[in-house]
Structure 1
Amino acid sequence: MPFAKHSLHKPSRPAATFLLSAAWTVLSLLSASELSQLVPAMWTDFVREVVAALLLAGGFYALARVWVPELRPLSSLGFVRRPGIAGEIGRGVALGWGIAIALVLPALLTGNLSMQFLFNGPTLLRTLLSVAVLFVFALVVQLVLAGLPLQTLVKASSPGWAAAAVIFVVTMLAITGTASQGRTLPVMVLAASIFVTGFLRTRALWFSLGVQLGWSVVLQILFGFNSPYTPVTFGFIQSGSDGPVWLTGGPFGPEASLVTVLVLVVALVVVFRLTKEYAWHYTWQPLEGAGRPMDVAPPAEHQREEKRQAAAAPLIQIGGLQAPQIPYSEPRDPA
């Protein structure tokens, strides 16, 4: 388990591990973005996400081996090997599928949904490439949100404070990095809350990874919508929606609507219900005493009394003397 108890000899080690892993996260994302510019435009997103995933996984693995010797390196990435992994992923995919359908329903029910079907060779190649990009992108997002930095924060503080810190960072990034903060900020914060909560409730990436894959693949590949939060995708279906932006998202896609905020709030509650069993098995920690063993010397009077008893003459027990034996005889008959 990634959160097994272990002792850190130096109090500054959790802070140092967090700073190193956070710095490596930023460096990996920047390096992947620069390297992706060296390939043709069609492969830019795929190369960027693959390079970022490899750098993040490799860096976290090495940091875990060096700085957290009692933490299994694969666990530092969130890939905890245990029974029932398929069930965890399946529950996550089901929730992500439900989120995508709920986002499309307003445009569908109001008649503002338009779809275009394209079936040819180039479209097939782009569809397969888009699925691969979404998969690797989901892996990168989960490694950033629930990888070694979050686990180090949990060890240094508590799951609640660690989750709050991650959500705060996501909020700051959304504020400073987006032009349409009114639409993107609530969705990014709620999505990050769902992923982080799913990880902290299960202590693994399987559930959260399933949620993101089900959400993005269904919405972008099966329904054909683009998302402002993920790489641009192409599929057999290309969709658009009209109507009020607050209801359908309009040209920005369903994730820009007010309905998305409501759907994600409900999804966050559902996460707690779906992960109740996993939280029972994987988040419980046995209580450990915080005191130190102490050997208290007896009072001086007790020590003097023990010395007097040890120095006193020993009692001599006389043995070998027994009471005289009176022979037993049968009583006589008076007749």
Structure 2
Amino acid sequence: MSQRGRLYDRLFDRLRSAVWNAAERRPRTPIRLLVGLLAIVFSLVAGTLVAVGAGLSSPWGTVLPMVAVAGATLVVAHVVDRRRIADLGLRRERGWLADLVAGLALGVALQTLVAGVGLAAGWFRVADTLVGTAAGAVSILVVFVAVGVYEELFARGLLLVNVAEGLRFAGDRVAVGGALLASAGVFGVLHAGNPGASLASTLGITAAGLFLGVGFVLTGRLSFPVGVHISWNAAQGALYGFSVSGLGIDVALVDLDPTGPTLLTGGSFGPEAGLLGFGAVVVGTAATVAWARYRGDGGVDPRLLVPDLRWREE
């Protein structure tokens, strides 16, 4: 072989190594994340177009694009990441149901804390009670369940895990910390286009993403953050009538209007944009750590850093 041929071979090998992890038999982390992002955007657009074309009303017209994104996330994990679905945190193992119930309870407790402190301080007023219909309440709960599942599946199950694996060269602590920050940052940015969004709301949602991520990295299961995510939104909107990430809710058990400073209440965006919401995130993070220790999951789950690849047992 000529010298030029050997040079081309070395160049090809380097280019291939840059995009393909031969040891793991799959694309490297940036390529996997790029493919995942493109697939999710495509599925979101396609799901929205199908819902509009079919004339689906709420909640199904809202839920269909979310289901499409969740499906795309699972397909990317299976085909591109070449991992088992359980490696996204969907593990039916001992403790997953207890995590789900604890997460559901924590989300309600935190929003009740926000409402109670705000009412006691005079930052909220009771505008109405029993707003909306039972059918409307069921519809919004269906949407909240879908949101909690598909956002956690993408932000924590796919994104956080891939970033953590990609940063393993820097050490476990850096890998997990960087993955937490990256997934929370993306989570915050994804809500930056919501009605009434601001720098404060984006930072608040990012902090909430860190809170949810902590529950995942300590247990290795999505059930805890999914539970918190669902009940946080449901209690925020359907129990207390707050806006949920800038989106108004037409049903509420007790409809509370913010009358105090926006810096504290979050104003029209909802508590995540205010210090009350941030305080709930801090309390929730501490409660999550306490729950993990109580369950015997006091440290980072090591499975986050070691991919469970399908081909290893094929």
User: Where on the TM-score scale, by shorter chain, does this alignment land: which range?
Assistant: 0.7 to 0.9
What does residue 261 of structure 2 align with?
Answer: 244
Q: CA RMSD in A?
A: 3.2
2:146 aligned with 1:132 = no
Corresponding residue to 1:185 among 190, 202, 208:
202
CA contact (8 A) 2:241 2:254 kept: yes
What does residue 33 of structure 2 align with?
Answer: 18
Give the drift of 1:42: 4.9
- SS of alignment partner, residue 228 of structure 1: coil
Amino acid at match of 2:39: W
Give the drift of 1:178: 6.7
Deviation digits for residues 79-135 of structure 1 (CA, Å, limit 9, x no counterpart) = 11101222111221222122101211233213442142347xx71111110111111
Deviation digits for residues 33-53 of structure 1 (CA, Å, limit 9, x no counterpart) = 44443466851x542333322
Q: Which runs of 5+ in 1 are unaligned?
A: 1-6, 289-335
C-alpha separation between the residues in 1 aligned to 2:236 and 2:194? 24
2:128 aligned with 1:116 = yes
Deviates more, 1:204-213 or 1:224-233: 224-233
C-alpha separation between the residues in 2 aligned to 1:117 and 1:177? 26
Corresponding residue to 1:82 among 85, 93, 101:
93
2:69 aligned with 1:59 = no
C-alpha separation between the residues in 2 aligned to 1:72 and 1:230? 35
- Structure showing greater radius of gyration is 1
The structure with the largest helix share of the pair is 2
2:116 aligned with 1:105 = yes
Superposed, which structure 2 residues align to 1:274-293 within 5 Å? 274-276=291-293, 277=295, 279-280=297-298, 283-284=301-302
Deviates more, 1:223-232 or 1:255-264: 223-232
Q: Aligned pair in 2 of structure 1 residues 106, 245: CA closer, same or farther (>3 Å)? A: farther
Q: Aligned pair in 2 of structure 1 residues 8, 278: CA closer, same or farther (>3 Å)? A: farther
Give the drift of 1:172: 4.3
Give the drift of 1:256: 3.5
**Count of residue pairs the alignment pairs up:** 276
Q: Which runs of 5+ in 2 are unaligned?
A: 1-21, 168-174, 307-314
What does residue 154 of structure 1 align with?
Answer: 164
Give the drift of 1:19: 2.2
Compute the TM-score of the two structures, normalised by the length of structure 2: 0.74
Corresponding residue to 1:222 among 215, 234, 239:
239
Q: Aligned pair in 2 of structure 1 residues 41, 246: CA closer, same or farther (>3 Å)? A: farther
2:260 aligned with 1:262 = no
C-alpha separation between the residues in 2 aligned to 1:135 and 1:221? 13
C-alpha separation between the residues in 1 aligned to 2:268 and 2:248? 17
Superposed, which structure 2 residues align to 1:28-47 within 5 Å? 28-38=43-53, 42-43=57-58, 46-47=60-61
C-alpha separation between the residues in 2 aligned to 1:14 and 1:191? 25
C-alpha separation between the residues in 2 aligned to 1:284 and 1:143? 19
What does residue 92 of structure 1 align with?
Answer: 103
CA contact (8 A) 2:125 2:259 kept: yes
- SS of alignment partner, residue 224 of structure 2: helix
